[in-house]
Amino acid sequence: MELFDVYPLYDITPVKGEGCYVFDENGKKYLDLYGGHAVISVGHAHPSYVKAIQEQASQLGFYSNSIKNPLQQELADKLEKVSGVQDYALFLCSSGAEANENALKVASFHTGKDRVIYFENAFHGRTSGVVAITDNESIKAPFNLGHKATKLAFNDTESLKNEIKKGDVAAVIFEIIQGVGGLDEADSDFYRSAAELCKENQVMLIADEVQSGYGRTGDFFAFQKHGIRPDIITMAKGMGNGFPIGGILTDTNIQAKYGMLGTTFGGNHLACAAGISVLDIIQQEKLMENAREVSEYVKAEAAKIPDIKKIKGRGLMIGLEFDFEIASLRKELLLEHQVFTGASSNRKLLRILPPLNITREHFESFFSAIKKVLKNQQIDKIASSCPEASGDSASLQNLKSKILRS
């Protein structure tokens, strides 16, 4: 049987992970500055994390949500303590898209309305409802186009006000820092105004923290910097360090009822064990503090490289923007220097989403590699424009060697 071919793949097969590194089947080591889309929060194969999952698997891996599972309450209590957010209720699911779908459903139930406002460059998932509020028409099937969704410019308070005043809006959803969209973050005034407008007009404010949450920005949630209180918060990615888990936090003013939401796998015993372990490690190893400290070093070093025109993001959710498209740069970093990085819809932006326990020393290796790649690309550019290059690869390589020696 063939696999349904929807992923463009690099010819690399990781078989082992350790800390901030992965290893392929030949033993080649790669520095992981992408964490599989910000999923690896506490490092590959962290001993405490592995132990927690192994011990739970040896006892009970799964049973449905028709029975009591005390691990769910333990996870909820620990999440409240580590995150610092209070007076929310937790619903557990298995992915970010599922979290956002449930958030939209709760908002519609609570308000009795059916229109959702989202923003340019947003990415909220690929399933039916959330792909409708994702700013990428190429991944929307005809089936996805029936939802009532309105796209607005990010950071445009006036347009948001005009739409909310129409009276049919169930929810406003945004990523505090856009992930796939290119690491843009609006002004604090925009987030605060959005929160006020939603409160005044009985609209649910949803903060999509699927990528930016769980300490990645140096705060537990990215919205905390802006002094707002969303009605609903969605989470996933770093929540389980690779084990499938997601969740939504709903303000305790939102009434739950039996059957309103449901999931087979969400909140299962193994998922909760993974989630509890991640929170323990974040707290015990002070990974939010580490994210802030390492981020300052990264930004300082990136500022020394003239080719980097803009540094975006916070903590260890970093975007390095160049004045050229970065596809070849990213490919050379991976294949020649064994460094995983990420891309975005902004083709000039290199996305950095490493494990939160990464160190300055890891980034020293990255900056050494990126300087070499940039130098090689400059040499390629000079050589290809030189009259001595006859067009065949041998003469071009000889010319590049001469430039390097000069």
Q: What is the pLDDT along the chain (406 residues), one digit of tens a residue?
A: 999 999 999 999 999 999 999 999 999 999 999 999 999 999 999 999 999 999 999 999 999 999 999 999 999 999 999 999 999 999 999 999 999 999 999 999 999 999 999 999 999 999 999 999 999 999 999 999 999 999 999 999 999 999 999 999 999 999 999 999 999 999 999 999 999 999 999 999 999 999 999 999 999 999 999 999 999 999 999 999 999 999 999 999 999 999 999 999 999 999 999 999 999 999 999 999 999 999 999 999 999 999 999 999 999 999 999 999 999 999 999 999 999 999 999 999 999 999 999 999 999 999 999 999 999 888 777 766 666 655 566 655 665 565 555 5
The Cα 302–Cα 292 span in angstroms is 15
Residue 151's SS3 state is strand
- Position 381 scores a pLDDT of 75
Classify residue 270: in a domain, yes or no.
yes
Residue 168 covered by a domain: yes
Look at residue 146 and tell me if it is in a domain.
yes
Any domain includes 156? yes
What is the Cα–Cα distance from 110 to 106, expressed in whole angstroms? 6
Nearest-angstrom CA–CA distance, 236 and 293: 24
Between 287-302 and 360-384, two packed helices, what is the crossing angle to 10 degrees? 30
Among 277, 265, 272, 270, which residue's Cα sits nearest to residue 60?
270
Is 138 strand, coil or helix? helix
Provide the domain count of the chain. 1
55 vs 61: CA distance, rounded Å = 10
Joined tokens for residue 305:
């490289």
Distances (CA, A) of 275 to 112, 151, 368, 389: 33, 33, 35, 57
Under 8 Å between Cβ of 107 and 255: no
95-142: pLDDT as tens digits? 999 999 999 999 999 999 999 999 999 999 999 999 999 999 999 999
Buried b (16+ CB within 10 A) or exposed e, 165-199: eeeebbbbbbbbbbbbbbbbbbeeebbebbbebbe
Burial (CB count within 10 angstroms: exposed 0-12, middle 13-18, buried 19+), residue 316: buried
CB-based contact 119:103 (threshold 8 Å) = no
pLDDT value, residue 405? 55
What is the model's pTM?
0.94
Q: What is the pLDDT of residue 227?
A: 97
Q: Using alpha carbons, select from 176, 173, 183 the residue that is nearest to residue 316.
A: 183
Q: Domain residues for 274?
A: 47-284
Position 406 in a domain: no
Q: Specify whether the CB–CB gap between 301 and 367 falls below 8 A.
A: yes
Q: What is the pLDDT of residue 378?
A: 85
User: Is 306 within the bounds of a domain?
Assistant: no
Domain membership flag for residue 304: no
Give domain status of residue 367, yes or no.
no
Distances (CA, A) of 69 to 21, 72, 94, 267, 268: 34, 6, 16, 8, 8
What distance in Å separates the CA atoms of residue 83 and residue 381, rounded to the nearest whole number?
49
| Backbone φ, ψ for residue 63 (5° rounding) | -150, 160
Structure tokens at 242: 């690779």
The CATH number linked to 149 is: 3.40.640.10
